[in-house]
Structure 1
Amino acid sequence: MDIDPRRLRVLYEVHRRGGVMRAAEALFLTPSAVSQQLAQLEREVGLALIDRSQRRVSLTPAGRVLAGYAERVEDELAEAKRELTRFTERLAGPVRIAAFPTVIKHMLVPAMRDLAVRHPKIAPTIHEVYGQPALQELRLGAVDVLITEHDTGLPTLAQPSLATRALYVDEYRIVVPPGWPLPRTIDDLADAPWVAGEPDQACGQALDRLAGLHGFAPRKIHVITEFGPTLALVAAGHGVAVVPGLALLDVPEGEVQVSEVRNVGARRLDAVTRISRTGSGEPDPVQAVVIAAIEQATDNLGQSLEAHLIPASALES
């Protein structure tokens, strides 16, 4: 029989947390998705793993046995990686990274160049995915390292079984079309048309937070996910936008104006990995090297960002 280890993780979470609902919350899945994964696992092993005869979902004896093995599988795999690293005396193996476009271009690509020279046997692969789907992939083991963004003006939610390492604080800036008067304060933008981010993404949350603090309802003419189209709409005169500094590295000089409005906030970029069942919050050696390379690439961004964040009025003075 073939058993998908990601479904083993679902079974273990149901066992550990005492039900489908709590397991779904921990895995960032819907209860329906958890039930589907369990049903598929039962088909794979040919045994009933869930006792559905009672109001509260519980595991059958076979389910409890398999959940015990599921707990050990991840620890054994992590230990195997450590042993192989010591045996070969070289860091090697695949590392699956989930991230979004600005991070991929400005942090991961330089990090991969460095890794190719220093650790040629490490094979990073990148999956462009973010938000709740990315957390789900990390928890289920489909990716090893996840780069997340979080609006620093909002509270940080606890992430059970995940370890977080801060990479970079990316300051927000407000950009306006060329030729428009440069705003001096947020209040100058109360009646402006906005090219807004999605409400569940950091820049969308930043705009809503600023509007709440300054007592206005933003006119969201366009709602865009990616920064490239957002900046193109601003450049064409369709509105103003909140964007992070990294996004401005892709903008030709003069295409948009970077306002002098400060205290807009920032997004924090983090590297997130799974905590092993032994409770260690440290990534395995190969993942640690990859994260270190990403940190180095991020440190090298400082001067490039400074050049792009000089407001237009400062250049004219």
Structure 2
Amino acid sequence: MEIDPRRLRVLREVARRGGVLRAAQALHLTSSAVSQQLAQLEREVGLPLIDRSQRSVSLTPAGRVLAGYAERVEEELTEAKRELTRFTERLAGPVRIAAFPTAISHLLVPAMRGLARRHPKIAPAIREIYGPPALQELRLGSVDLLITEQDMGLPVLAQPSLTSRLLYVDAYRIVVPPSWSDPPSTVEELLQRPWVAADPGQACGQALDRLAGLHGIEPQKPHVIGEWGPALALVAAGHGVAIVPELALLDVPEGEVRVSDIRGIGARRLDVVTRASRRRSGEPDPVQAVVIEAIEEVTKELAATLRSRISDPADEEAADRA
């Protein structure tokens, strides 16, 4: 019995993704090509691996057993590739990174410039994906590391299969339309105004809901916007107020919005998350380690820039209290 490990990878993705279509998308193949690979694998082992009697594709008992071995084979091959990096003069290989827009613009782009100079054979690939879908892709192995955000007022949930390290604490600011000659001076007054709100799954959306709950006020949310560019444009045009992280203010022209003096709003935490190391040595993947190091270096430089351009000591005290 000869089994092609490339077909084992196809079976593994079908098992992990729960269907042929999703496996095809993950493998960048057509559904027909995946089905053909599965059929050939069944001929190689002489057993049915896919139950085709139902509308949705599922694995037979034999298919589930072989998929378990396929997972182990993939882990061993990945480990072998990592170990071989010890015999090369330079680190090399792809690193797939997932992040949200502000992290891509202000952290990943400058980090990739420095990484290209020091490790030109490392090939970063960046995807704009965040939240639960990004965590799922990390667990499935479609991305190698991701940058997450979360309101610091919420507890950090344990992720047994993942490793997380704090990257940056990004203070919140409240922005109001520049046309308001007498803007509100308290959170209670602001909560009475219309809001350009972030999605509840985003850190700033979580922050607004937290503030509203603390003050017992249900804010008006005529606008719910996921990207900072459109959200700030709505604020600039006078359509409401918004909570934004300081990173989002780096690209805003001076005078386009008015930054409120209200303090004590809190901050969001940015984390770098990877899968827990399965290396026999227990050490992290060396390629991923230098990528994370490059991101951390840029973050430290950016923190200094923000302190000089946006933050003041009162802001830092507010973030510490949050």
Range of TM-score over shorter length: 0.7 to 0.9
2:41 equivalent among 17, 29, 45: 45
Match of 1:245 in 2: 246
Match of 2:9 in 1: 5
Once the two structures are superposed, the pairs formed by residues 241-280 of structure 1 within 5 Å of their partners are: 241-277=242-278
Match of 2:159 in 1: 159
The question of whether the paired residues in 1 share the 8 Å contact of 2:10 and 2:38 is answered with: no
Match of 1:301 in 2: 302
Matches of 1:211 and 1:131, distance apart in 2:
22
Q: Secondary structure at the residue paired with 2:255?
A: coil
Matches of 1:218 and 1:237, distance apart in 2:
17
Q: Which moved more, 1:154-163 or 1:100-109?
A: 154-163
Compared with structure 1, are the counterparts of its residues 44 and 75 closer, same or farther at alpha carbon in structure 2 (3 Å cutoff)? Answer: same
Match of 2:122 in 1: 122
Compared with structure 1, are the counterparts of its residues 119 and 153 closer, same or farther at alpha carbon in structure 2 (3 Å cutoff)? Answer: same
Once the two structures are superposed, the pairs formed by residues 161-200 of structure 1 within 5 Å of their partners are: 161-180=161-180, 181-200=182-201
Matches of 2:250 and 2:236, distance apart in 1:
15
Matches of 1:242 and 1:215, distance apart in 2:
18
The question of whether the paired residues in 2 share the 8 Å contact of 1:49 and 1:59 is answered with: yes
Matches of 2:226 and 2:219, distance apart in 1:
17
Matches of 1:4 and 1:148, distance apart in 2:
32
Q: Secondary structure at the residue paired with 2:250?
A: helix
Residue type of the alignment partner of 1:296: E
Once the two structures are superposed, the pairs formed by residues 85-234 of structure 1 within 5 Å of their partners are: 85-180=85-180, 181-234=182-235
Compared with structure 1, are the counterparts of its residues 133 and 205 closer, same or farther at alpha carbon in structure 2 (3 Å cutoff)? Answer: same
The question of whether the paired residues in 2 share the 8 Å contact of 1:75 and 1:278 is answered with: no
Compared with structure 1, are the counterparts of its residues 148 and 7 closer, same or farther at alpha carbon in structure 2 (3 Å cutoff)? Answer: farther
Compared with structure 1, are the counterparts of its residues 277 and 204 closer, same or farther at alpha carbon in structure 2 (3 Å cutoff)? Answer: same
Gaps of 5+ in 1: 14-32, 312-317
| RMSD between aligned residues | 2.8
Matches of 1:144 and 1:199, distance apart in 2:
26
Match of 2:316 in 1: none
Q: CA deviation at 1:120?
A: 1.0
Compared with structure 1, are the counterparts of its residues 4 and 66 closer, same or farther at alpha carbon in structure 2 (3 Å cutoff)? Answer: closer
Q: TM-score, normalised by structure 1?
A: 0.81
The question of whether the paired residues in 1 share the 8 Å contact of 2:8 and 2:67 is answered with: no
Residue type of the alignment partner of 1:299: K
Q: CA deviation at 1:211?
A: 0.3
Residue type of the alignment partner of 2:98: A
The question of whether the paired residues in 2 share the 8 Å contact of 1:249 and 1:304 is answered with: no
Q: Which moved more, 1:256-265 or 1:239-248?
A: 256-265
Compared with structure 1, are the counterparts of its residues 167 and 146 closer, same or farther at alpha carbon in structure 2 (3 Å cutoff)? Answer: same
1:34 equivalent among 18, 39, 59: 18
Compared with structure 1, are the counterparts of its residues 44 and 244 closer, same or farther at alpha carbon in structure 2 (3 Å cutoff)? Answer: farther
Identity, in percent, stands at 60
Compared with structure 1, are the counterparts of its residues 278 and 109 closer, same or farther at alpha carbon in structure 2 (3 Å cutoff)? Answer: closer
Matches of 1:150 and 1:143, distance apart in 2:
20
Compared with structure 1, are the counterparts of its residues 150 and 269 closer, same or farther at alpha carbon in structure 2 (3 Å cutoff)? Answer: same
Residue type of the alignment partner of 1:303: A
Match of 1:30 in 2: none
Compared with structure 1, are the counterparts of its residues 250 and 4 closer, same or farther at alpha carbon in structure 2 (3 Å cutoff)? Answer: farther
Q: Secondary structure at the residue paired with 1:168?
A: strand
Q: Secondary structure at the residue paired with 1:272?
A: strand
Q: Secondary structure at the residue paired with 1:203?
A: helix
Once the two structures are superposed, the pairs formed by residues 58-73 of structure 1 within 5 Å of their partners are: 60-73=61-74
User: When the two structures are aligned, how many residues end up with a matched partner?
Assistant: 288
Matches of 2:261 and 2:125, distance apart in 1:
38
Q: TM-score, normalised by structure 2?
A: 0.80
